[in-house]
Amino acid sequence: MADLKKKRMLTDKIFKVIFLVFISLGLVVLAALIYDIVSKGIVMLDWEFFTRFDSRFPAKAGIKAGLFGTLYVIGLMIPITFFIGTATAIYLEEYAPVNKLTDIIKLNIANLAGIPSIIYGMLGLGVFVRYLNMGRSVLAGSLTLSLLVLPVVIVSAQEALKSVPDSLRNASYALGANHWHTVYKVVLPSALPSILTGFILAISRAIGETAPLIMMGALTFVMFTPQGIMDSFTVMPIQIFNWTSLPKTEFELVAASGSLLLLILLFILNGLATFIRYKYSRK
Amino acid sequence: MSNQKVLEVKNIDFFYDDFQALENITMDVEKNKVTALIGPSGCGKSTFLRTINRMNDLIEGAKLEGDILFDGESIYQENVDVVNLRKRIGMVFQQPNPFPKSVFENVAYGPKIHGVTDKAKLEEIVVESLKGAALYDEVKDRLNKSALSLSGGQQQRLCIARALAVKPEVLLMDEPASALDPVATAKIEDLIEELKNNYSIVIVTHSMQQAARVSDMTGFFLMGELVEYDKTDKIFENPSDQRTEDYITGRFG
Amino acid sequence: MSDLKNKDKKSWASYFFDPKIRYMNSKKNKNGLVNYVLLLTTLVSVITTIGIILILLTDSFHFFEQVPVLDFLTGTKWNPLIKPDLAYGVLPLVAGTMMITLGSALIAIPVGLGSAIYLTEYASTRFSKIIKPIMEILAGIPTVVYGYFALTFITPNVLKPIFPNIRTFNALSASIAVGIMILPMVISLSEDALNAVPESIRQGAYAMGSTRFEVASRVMVPSALSGILSSFILAISRAIGETMIVAIAAGMRPQLTSSFLKPIQTMTGFIVQISLGDTPVGSLQYYTIFAVGLLLFLMTLSLNVISHLILKKYREVYQ
């Protein structure tokens, strides 16, 4: 009997160690990745990196085109996605009748969230670039990315709306407010911090997206910044991808600088989202 | 006939972080007797019960000072085998909590982890335990059905059978009938009456009538203190402490 | 196990007759205009799905007009660009995708489940509080950066010392990177599933004298199985659809090989490759993208549906 006991305790201890190693794996990789990007990226990250365009010479390569392209595309995307995403969530949670059709729509959105991003690229290529004749423009890119992150925005906004207690709604009705008034003035403000947090995280995801934009024709070697929404463009991740694919090893450092910049940008955004989450959860 | 002590609680203080939940508790639990713990809600009865099988170890920030002896040996020493302790001291909870498995698998769980692999032996133990919990006749045709298809009272008796299957010496019951209807409650109380022949039982209950019906010894808890501990008859007919009398007669709680 | 099925399926009729649902439906739709505007925005999601299906179907159709479906699905040579010897058998791409998926699953599933178990049974709350944000960071890293890391760090510094014959572009480095990328997802979803098991069941298991490992393996994981399995399937679906990591690190060589040390090409990698080139719109090469895309879509869709069904049909009832 004692042998079995020992075996059981040993098994428990062994697996504790194994699981601990597993968790450390993620930490180790993250540490290695950050170390790698920072140590390589710092080398060429100077003010001129921001103000130069891409070049055949690594020492002269800069991320200006990608930076502006990202700003344009994401900038255009933000109001579109926020409006449509929040409105859809409001409809589904506050207005839609409880029936099978609504269930199907909700199921459809959950499904869209799981479709690979490159398929959205095909959608963008077929519909926006070709069928609607927008060409390989900032507008087409924004719309494509909007559709990509929309399901995530909708679902997180739905969760935010669901967590507003009914007591608030009832109090509003009891004061004589109609449905829209209640939603707009009571429910929405209460849910807004959570909606924003989810939205910011969705935008960070969009900033890092490469495949759909490559698919719909964002260029890789670009020496200009977009002047209007119908101009062609590139974005930071695509420039990074381009530099990574080039044979000259110095470009490896340039790619690291681009990655570092991208990570810093995302870090700031995530910090913002976390800040909002904490500030408003103490209410 | 001298009453053997199966548990000796020696001056224990218990803390959840800074909050003191139990203050200077000393009592002896006698073998093959039913010991009831009564008192108003939130006064530490369940916490005390959980110190006996060290279930409080699962809660972060829980700390015990003092000692408890089980069969003469301290259970709060450095290298006490807690896993074995919980085999020898079984527990039944307030809400029935069968595993989402079949009736058979629920009862077989304990023997399996303690080394019984022979199918025939497992069956024997399961049947014996179900009989010991007065449940066998009701479930003998559905041993492979999910335990969750049983009624509340049946689930609770299943939990008792599950506890019995590892052949404990002590059975801790935390308000075992509070979630059940009167008929199911009566069955549990009859069961306790039978079980005490083979096990020592400590039962927490908020029903004084139940304590009076079922137990040999009763302890009255108030605000983390053990106010009075004596034979059940004495507690209910002629309590020594005024606070006990107030509680018994319903002046508070 | 049929009595464990989800008990609250709604019949069509209940939407009509259930008083609670009728009440909830009557309270809404008070403001006509607002209602319609919101409905229109909701339709965007519906149109998106229709759009995806239409594009994939019509453009694949142009492909299958010229290449028989059977040749596509069973052919073992994939060479749509370089004349002569054009071949349109998609199996090398599928094999490449499967290799990456298998490799990443071998990493992410055990490590992910083990980590989730550690967090729920072994770790203190302080530890969990530190790990959570780190996992979120890991999940937020753009795939281009993972690809870069795989190519410029994992292959030369980690793999080359172990396998000196490994090529610069290889399936192994991409598998590892994809595995790490989906790891947070497995951990988070498995943890949710484990935490959904009521605490009373967990306590009951400990009260029987079980070790932590026994509680985790014999009670908690079986009780959370549907959620855990569904998390695995979703992670695999994500791995199949992953594009940039494989495009950067795994190579552009569609070949049927079982060696992880060699370059391969995945379905997604191929699509990106074509998009970067000068393929004229309307050519057969152009439509190839959509045929491969359709296959990709069907694969991930099936997995997502299966995951959803597992959750729905086998969700454990605890009470």
Inform me whether the C-beta atom of residue A15 falls under 8 Å from chain C C-beta atoms. yes
What count of Cα atoms within 13 Å lies in the side-chain half-sphere of residue A199? 23
Residue in the block written with tokens 């552009």 = C252
In this structure, are residues C56 and C283 in contact, taking their beta carbons and an 8 Å threshold? no
Alpha carbon distance A230, C13 (integer Å): 51
The interface residues of chain A toward chain B in range 7-26, judged by CB-CB distance below 8 A, are 8-9
Q: What domain count does chain A have?
A: 2
Q: Does A89 touch chain C (CB under 8 A)?
A: no
pLDDT above 70: residue C192:
yes
A119 and A27 in a single domain? The answer is: no
Same domain, A74 and A211: yes
Average pLDDT rounded to a whole number, residues B146-170:
93
Please state the rounded mean pLDDT for residues B196-224: 92
Reduce the DSSP state of residue B67 to 3 states and report it: strand
Subunits adjacent to chain B (3 or more Cβ pairs under 8 Å) = A, C
Fold of C87-314: MetI-like fold (1.10.3720)
Domain check: are A30 and A125 in the same one?
no
**How deeply is C255 buried, as exposed, middle or buried, from its count of CB atoms within 10 A (0-12, 13-18, 19+)?**
middle
Does A2 contact B at CB distance below 8 Å?
A: no
Distance from CA of A119 to the nearest CA of C (A): 7
Tell me, what's the ipTM? 0.91
Give the pLDDT of residue C27: 60
A138 and A24 in one domain?
no
Summary mean pLDDT of chain A: 89
Which residues of A fall within a CB distance of 8 Å from C293? Answer: 118-119, 122
Nearest to B93 among C200, C218, C222 (CB): C200
Arithmetic mean of pLDDT over chain C: 88
Query: What rounded mean pLDDT belongs to chain B?
Result: 91
What does the pLDDT look like over A217-260, one tens digit per residue? 877 777 888 888 888 889 999 999 999 988 778 888 999 999 99
Q: Domain range holding A21? A: 2-44
Reply yes or no on whether the pLDDT at B253 is more than 80.
no
State the DSSP code for C1: -
All residues at 6 or more sequence positions from A181 whose CB lies less than 8 Å from its CB, including other chains: A172
The pLDDT of residue C18:
66
What integer pLDDT is reported at residue C19 of this predicted model? 65
Distance CA C204, CA B174 (A): 12
Whether residues A99 and A208 share a domain: the answer is yes
User: What pLDDT score does C2 carry?
Assistant: 36
Q: What's the rounded Cα separation, in Å, for the pair A131 and A216?
A: 12
Query: Could you tell me the residue ranges of all domains in chain C?
Result: 10-66, 87-314
Domain identity same for A215 and A86: yes
Do A9 and A106 lie in a common domain? Answer: no
Condensed to tens digits (0 to 9), the pLDDT of residues C90-109 reads: 999 999 999 999 999 999 99
The pLDDT value given to residue A6: 87
pLDDT in tens, A46-60: 888 888 888 888 888
**Euclidean distance between CA atoms B126 and B141, whole angstroms:** 13
Contact residues on chain A for C137, CB-CB shorter than 8 A: 30, 270
Domain of residue A61, CATH code: 1.10.3720.10
Q: Within this chain, do residues A32 and A94 fall inside the same structural domain, yes or no?
A: no
Nearest CB among A87, A100, A110 relative to C38 is that of A87
Whether residue A5 and residue B113 make contact (CB cut-off 8 A), yes or no, is: no
Q: Which residues 48-77 of A have a C-beta within 8 angstroms of C?
A: none
Interface of A with C in 90-119 (CB under 8 A): 90-92, 94-100, 105, 107-112, 114-119
**CA dist B81 → A9, A155, B8 (Å):** 10, 48, 18
What local confidence, expressed as pLDDT, does residue A228 receive?
Answer: 84
- Taking one residue from A and the other from B, the number of pairs with CB-CB distance under 8 angstroms is 9
In the numeric block, which tokens belong to residue B113? 């982890």
> pLDDT over 70 for what percent of chain C?
90
pLDDT tens for C123-150 read: 988 899 888 888 988 999 999 999 999 9
Same domain? For A88 and A133 the reply is yes
pLDDT in tens, A65-91: 889 999 999 999 999 999 999 999 999
Distance from CA of B111 to the nearest CA of C (A): 10
| pLDDT tens digits along B46-99 | 999 999 999 998 888 899 999 999 998 999 988 888 999 999 999 999 999 999
pLDDT in tens, C6-47: 344 456 666 666 666 666 666 655 567 888 888 889 999 999
pLDDT grade for B179, boundaries at 50, 70 and 90? confident
* A9 and A133 fall within a common domain: no
> pTM, whole model, 2 decimals?
0.88
Q: Which domains does chain B have, with CATH numbers?
A: 5-248 (3.40.50.300)
Residue C236 has a pLDDT of 96
What tens digit of pLDDT does each residue of A162-198 get? Answer: 999 888 888 888 888 888 888 888 899 989 999 999 9
pLDDT of residue A160: 93
Check whether residue A113 and residue A253 sit in a common domain.
yes
User: Same domain for A37 and A164?
Assistant: no
Give the list of residues 6+ apart from residue B198 with CB closer than 8 angstroms, or none: B32
Please give, one letter per residue, the 3-state secondary structure of chain A.
Answer: CHHHHHHHHHHHHHHHHHHHHHHHHHHHHHHHHHHHHHHHHHHHCCHHHHHCCCCCCHHHCCCHHHHHHHHHHHHHHHHHHHHHHHHHHHHHHHHCCCCHHHHHHHHHHHHHHCCCHHHHHHHHHHHHHHHCCCCCCHHHHHHHHHHHHHHHHHHHHHHHHHCCCHHHHHHHHHCCCCHHHHHHHHHHHHHHHHHHHHHHHHHHHHHCCCHHHHHCCCCCCCCCCCCCCCCCCCCHHHHHHHHHHCCCCHHHHHHHHHHHHHHHHHHHHHHHHHHHHHHHHCC
Q: Over pLDDT 90: what percentage of chain A?
A: 54
The phi-psi region of residue B101 (left if phi > 0; otherwise alpha if psi is between -120 and 50; otherwise beta) is beta
